[in-house]
Amino acid sequence: MPPSLRCGLFGLFSIAALAGLPLACQSGGVGDPCTPEDEYNPQFSGFAMTEEHIESRSFQCRTRICLVNHFQGRVSCPLGQAASAITDCGGPAGANDERCDKANGEKCVESSLPGRFVCHKPNDCQQPNAAPASNAGKACCLPGTDTPVSVPVCGQCDRKANRDAEQAVYCSCRCGTADGAPEEPNFNFCTCPTGFTCSEIRPYIGLGDPLLTGKYCVKEGTAYTTGTFNACGAVAGNHEAPCLGIGDIDQ
């Protein structure tokens, strides 16, 4: 069994067979990019910057934890898309192409929601690491597919505010208990690598899985402060309510 998997199983599920091992959780892989499983949900419109999300069974991460640290939108769709950018065309696929911008190559296709057909230009989906100008006008799609997402999605917050995907969504590991939480002498906490700091992500309130509360390794300088004025900054994409941020395509 790989060390990272052994660590994840022990830390998250408290497997009795591993309880006596003196090994510390491995921090290898902390900072690796990850796409949260929620983004494969056809109805998922994106994360909210006011919340955190800890995916504890991520097989994209050697640490098994994909951390979403106060991030807005979808990792797979940097600019998001407004409701006005989604054009219903009825269906079935190909039968109502005349409702779409055929001159621009759009066709009537089935969207991520079964039974809902929208206009979509084939292979014209936003890419996670592309520049705003390259993604402009393109659709949000299910990760790794050409299937358009047919719900509005907020654009990511400004990279200057450290709330874009690169600074707020990546593989992490649990490095300590939350302030005021009971001690966990049998949990093998990780040590954060260079460039990361151990920061409280989920406070202890006595609810939910206690093994997910506490502190995680986050990139230095990216800790989120509740109530920070205009913490989202400029948004190079959809900033229509209820999205946070202000519009600014020139980042």
d(CA 251, CA 248): 7
Token pair, residue 171, equals: 């593989």
Task: Compute CA distances 148 → 55, 199, 247, whole Å.
Answer: 24, 36, 23
CB 48 within 8 A of CB 72: yes
For residue 160, the model assigns a pLDDT of 87
For residue 94, the model assigns a pLDDT of 66
Residues in CB range of 8: below 8 A, 6 or more apart = 25, 56, 57, 63, 64, 65
Residues in CB range of 116: below 8 A, 6 or more apart = 88, 91, 110, 150
What does the DSSP 8-state code read for residue 206?
S
Across 56-83, average pLDDT: 95
Mean pLDDT of the chain: 85
For residue 161, the model assigns a pLDDT of 87
d(CA 59, CA 57): 6
CB 11 within 8 A of CB 172: no
For residue 251, the model assigns a pLDDT of 40
The phi and psi torsions of 45 (rounded to 5 degrees) equal -95, -10
Per-residue pLDDT at 90 exceeds 90:
no
For residue 207, the model assigns a pLDDT of 64
For residue 231, the model assigns a pLDDT of 80
Confidence of residue 106 (pLDDT cuts 50, 70, 90): very high
Each residue's pLDDT tens digit, 166-180: 999 999 999 999 998
Per-residue pLDDT at 5 exceeds 60:
no
Angle at 122 between CA 117 and CA 124, to 5 degrees: 105
Each residue's pLDDT tens digit, 201-239: 998 886 667 778 999 999 999 988 776 556 888 898 999
Q: Report how far Cα 77 is from the mean position of its chain's Cα atoms.
A: 10
Per-residue pLDDT at 12 exceeds 50:
no
Across 40-57, average pLDDT: 92
